[in-house]
Structure 1
Amino acid sequence: MSDIVKRSYRSDIRTARARETRRRIIASASELFIAAGYGATSVDAIAERAGVSRKTVFNAVGGKAEILALALDWAIAGDDEPVPFAERPDLVALLRLDHPGRLLDAWAAVLADIDARVADLHAAVEAAAGVDPTAHALFARLQSQRREGAQVVVDALDALDGLRERMPRAEAVDLACLFSEPMMYRRLVGDRGWSATRFQRWLATTLREQLLRT
């Protein structure tokens, strides 16, 4: 085996190990943020749960704010691949649909999938936003991103002439944004015991009723 191949092999191993360490840190932090809250979770506690040193946490991810932001990004995307959410296959396929009802059904499926991963962590961030400036800024960013996503879906409906008659675009965006709120999943699935399938069907039906041309 040549020196170049050996170096490449060792580099690949180091990269894989570093990625696994980041995943372990983020998973541990997410569990603690949900169970204890953002404010009560320390970097030392994250390090202990992940089985690494405090220094490793900072070197691999950063401080607590960076950890929280990355945990949310990964929860929303569903993995740690460096692919922007707007370029994910499900989103790209959704926006190519040429039937308004099927577009909303597909969006409901995407939202339900995201909610299942992010609802508890999102609630932890919202709770911390009232007392922690970092959490407040992150929560505001999440709200803005969610509204932008709702605007994209509403514009796609409008382009298909599927938007409800005489409904102003701003109102449609407000409603789409409301129904993409992860707290609905938390309340109905987490608190009331709905199945994820039931929630997705309800969400798709509700979106159709609220947004589609009759």
Structure 2
Amino acid sequence: MADHVKRDYRSALRAAQADDTRRAIVNAAAKLFTADGYGATTIDAIAGASGVSRKTVFSAVGGKVALLKTALDWAVAGDDRPVALSDRPAFQDLFALEDPRRLLREWVRLQVQIAERAVGLFRALEVAAETDGEARELLTTVHRQRLEGAAQIVDRVAELGADGAAVPRDHAVDVAWLAADPVVFDRMVRQRGWATHAFEAWVADALIVQLLRD
């Protein structure tokens, strides 16, 4: 085997091992943040749960806010691939739909799936933001990103000429932004015991009534 082939193999192996280590750390952090909350979760606890040293946690991912951000990003996306939501097949298929009612129902379905995966981390972030400046900045970014996503779906509905908008655009964006908030899912499904499919149908029906004129 040529030297350069051996080097490439070793390099690929080290990269794969580093990815596995990072994945283990972030998954451990996600479980601890969700179960114990942000304040009670320590770097030492994350290191112990992932079977690495404290130093490795920092070098592989970063501090607590970086860990929470990465865990949240992965939960929202559904995996750790560095691909934006807008570039993923589910969202590309969504924006290719031409029926505004189906578009809203499919969008809600995707938002509910995200909430199921990420709601515990969102709650941890909200609590962390009360006392941690970095977490507060992250929460602001998360809210802004959700607002941008809501604006995209509202504008797409408008592009489809769906019998005219039932409410002004700013109002529509705010309604969609709230509908996609994982905290609403948390209140109704986790706290009040609604079935996920019932919650999804309720939100979709409400959006259709709010955003579309018959």
Identify the TM-score tier after normalising by the shorter chain: over 0.9
SS across alignment from 1:20: helix
Which residue matches 2:155? 155
- Residues 1:185 and 2:185 aligned together: yes
Taking only the aligned residue pairs, the percentage that are identical comes to 47
SS across alignment from 2:131: coil
1:106-117 alignment, distance < 5 Å? 106-117=106-117
Which residue matches 2:133? 133
Q: How many residues align?
A: 214
- Runs of 4+ aligned residues of structure 1 deviating over 6 Å after TM superposition are none
Which residue matches 2:124? 124
- Determine the C-alpha separation between the residues in 1 that align with 2:55 and 2:165: 58
- TM-score, length-normalised on structure 2? 0.94
- Determine the C-alpha separation between the residues in 2 that align with 1:201 and 1:122: 22
The alignment yields a C-alpha RMSD, in angstroms, of: 1.5
Which residue matches 1:100? 100
Q: Is the 8 A contact 2:118 2:182 kept in 1?
A: yes
- TM-score, length-normalised on structure 1? 0.94
Give per-residue Cα distances to partners, 1:18-69, cap 9 Å, x unaligned: 1111111111111221222212222111111111001111111111121111
Give per-residue Cα distances to partners, 1:92-118, cap 9 Å, x unaligned: 111111110111011011101100111
Which residue matches 2:59? 59
Which residue matches 2:198? 198
Which residue matches 1:211? 211
- Determine the C-alpha separation between the residues in 1 that align with 2:128 and 2:164: 37
Q: Is the 8 A contact 1:126 1:139 kept in 2?
A: yes
* Amino acid of the structure 1 residue aligned with 2:150: A
The alpha carbon displacement at 1:191 in A equals 1.6
Q: Is the 8 A contact 2:158 2:165 kept in 1?
A: no
- Judged with a 3 Å threshold, the aligned counterparts in structure 2 of structure 1 residues 123 and 164 are, in CA distance, closer, same or farther, namely farther
* Amino acid of the structure 2 residue aligned with 1:130: E
Which residue matches 1:167? 167
Q: Is the 8 A contact 1:22 1:60 kept in 2?
A: yes
Q: Is the 8 A contact 1:163 1:211 kept in 2?
A: no
- Determine the C-alpha separation between the residues in 2 that align with 1:131 and 1:4: 51
* Amino acid of the structure 1 residue aligned with 2:71: A
